[in-house]
Amino acid sequence: LTKYAANAMLATRISFMNELALLAEKMGADIEHVRHGIGSDPRIGYHFLYAGCGYGGSCFPKDVQALQRTAKEYGEDLKVLNAVEVVNNRQKEVLLEKIVARFGKDLSGKNIALWGLAFKPNTDDMRDAPSRTLIKGLWALGATVTAYDPVAMHETRRIFGDDPRLKLVDTPMDVLPGADALAIVTEWQVFRSPNFDEIKSKLKTPVIFDGRNLYEPASVREQGFEYFAIGRL
């Protein structure tokens, strides 16, 4: 129970911040300011308060669901954890929604460059990874995807096989030529300080959808990009 509770608590913090990020966007607030504000309260702290495009992996989804199943065996309905899972599944759709809002529902002929496939950095684990939801969503709307991840390429090939709608390349910059936009799904260190001039020169249109809030929006926009993050102004 303690182990399940610990991971469920962390998952709850993530989903809570993701819901606040969506609200912040509509209110014209910056979720980073909110994060700094509430994180400065020592009762809360800063850990697992980063908004993004959802959590994945083995531990959080599995343990949230396991705790829910255990509760049902004892006649309890854990409504908070039910909501945590609903929010996370919805959050995995946010990047696709932003892409559709920018380019329209028919993405036929569009190619989206993708940075990151693993559910988090420093692993090749793609279980419940947000990248899988995004790739399938883009395919359903007619788009193709060119993707790069430092270590999860083999796992991606195992999952998706040789589907012609997905091209895997050898470097981060190789995803860009001719792509209609860049989407960032995993916060690998290699993506944090890119050459924005090179990105802009290779993309067909200078548009970035940042699912991990890696950059300062004003700085990226000053370099001529349309920049869409999660809960940031």
C-alpha dihedral, 141 to 147 to 153 to 155, nearest 10°: -20
Q: Which tokens hold the place of 95? A: 């990047």
What's the mean pLDDT in 49-59? 96
- Taking the C-alpha atoms of residue 59 and residue 89, their distance in angstroms, rounded to an integer, is 15
Tens-place pLDDT, residues 138-190: 999 999 999 999 999 999 999 999 999 999 999 999 999 999 999 999 999 99
Tens-place pLDDT, residues 63-120: 999 999 999 999 999 999 999 999 999 999 999 999 999 999 999 999 999 999 999 9
The CA distances from residue 175 to 24, 28, 69, 192, 217, in Å, are 31, 32, 41, 16, 22
* Residue 134: per-residue pLDDT: 98
State the catalytic residue, choosing from 59, 71, 153, 169. Answer: 59
Does the active-site annotation cover 53? no
